[in-house]
Amino acid sequence: MNSREKDVLVMALYAGEIMLKNGAETYRVEDTVMRICKAYKISYVESFVTPTGIFVSVDCRENGGDVLTFIKRIVERTIDLNKISKVNDFSRKVSSSFLSIEEALEILKKIDHLPKYPKFLKIFGAATASSFFGVMLGATYSDFISVLITSICIYISISFTEKLNSNFFIQNLFGGAIAAFIAILSIHIGVGIHLDKIIISSIMILVPGVAITNAVRDYISGDLLSGAARTAEAFIVAIAIAVGAGAVMNTWIYIFGGI
């Protein structure tokens, strides 16, 4: 009866899902979903987004339809700002020019399957980020090498545990533990002098900077629920890193009587 509206709704939901999955703020997802629905002449749209799910409701009784509601659960969240930027462009294009629903879905699918940067480049990114952060804090050149190795190991361990379908608590716990372990090891070998600087700069790639920034942006736009959820996420990540690093350091002290 109103299959066109259903198609539009599914398409809008898909766009919202891509954005939320890749770390967009809540208000931006709500905005995008509503803008896409409005572009296809659905007059009444309401969307409610939290970091873990999207709820969209449309009313098409004017056109002889029904009230439709769709829910989409978001389980995994990563950070891919490229996709967010692309979907944002897409939603602007939809509202300014007329695209058929099939064409729009095609574009969205393409965006969803857009490749990330290749793995070696990401490892290189992690290594540069951490090691130069270390130098910013005043680490020496031998610390620099130690941070380089540590951060590469952390990144490999994250991408490995990600594949095993683990949650973000475990990933960050392992990350923190590996950071502490390799940092202590490298000091014993003689590469690196400042233990604190090595650990701080290598855990930078785990630190929940994005969660904090997004939490704030959610609070500004009045999405208190999402803001609170993301703040909680940031805290849990911080605790996980601290537990991982602390456990390894404590164990080391317990076994060898000092670092």
Partner 1 sequence: MYLQFIFSFLATLGFSILFNIPQKSIIKASFVGGCGWIAFVYWRESFGSLIAASFVGASVVAIISEIFARKFKETVTVFVIPGIIPLVPGAGMYYAMLAAMEKDFSKFAIVGSETLFMAGGIAAAILLVSSIAKMFFEFKKSRKNRDQ
Interface contacts to partner 1, rule CB under 8 A: 24-25, 28, 79-86, 88, 116-117, 121-122, 124-130, 132-133, 135-137, 196, 199-201, 203-205, 207, 209-210, 212-217, 219-220, 238, 241-242, 245-246, 249-250
Token readout for 44 is 């009444």
Neighbours of 10 (CB within 10 A): 16
Looking at beta carbons only, is 42 or 227 nearer to partner 1? Answer: 227
Give min distance, CB of 192 to partner 1, in A: 15
Looking at beta carbons only, is 45 or 241 nearer to partner 1? Answer: 241
Side-chain-side CA neighbours of 153 within 13 Å: the count stands at: 21
Supply the angle between the helices 195-203 and 119-136 in degrees, to the nearest 10: 140
Give min distance, CB of 39 to partner 1, in A: 19
Residues paired with 72 in a beta bridge: 54
Token readout for 245 is 């690093």
Looking at beta carbons only, is 8 or 84 nearer to partner 1? Answer: 84
d(CA 29, CA 31): 5
Looking at beta carbons only, is 89 or 106 nearer to partner 1? Answer: 89
Looking at beta carbons only, is 9 or 21 nearer to partner 1? Answer: 21
Looking at beta carbons only, is 73 or 120 nearer to partner 1? Answer: 120
Token readout for 127 is 């290594």
Give min distance, CB of 188 to partner 1, in A: 19
Is the separation of the CB atoms in 60 and 4 below 8 Å?
Answer: no
Give min distance, CB of 93 to partner 1, in A: 12
Neighbours of 188 (CB within 10 A): 12
Is the separation of the CB atoms in 201 and 178 below 8 Å?
Answer: no
Give min distance, CB of 96 to partner 1, in A: 13
Token readout for 143 is 């610390």
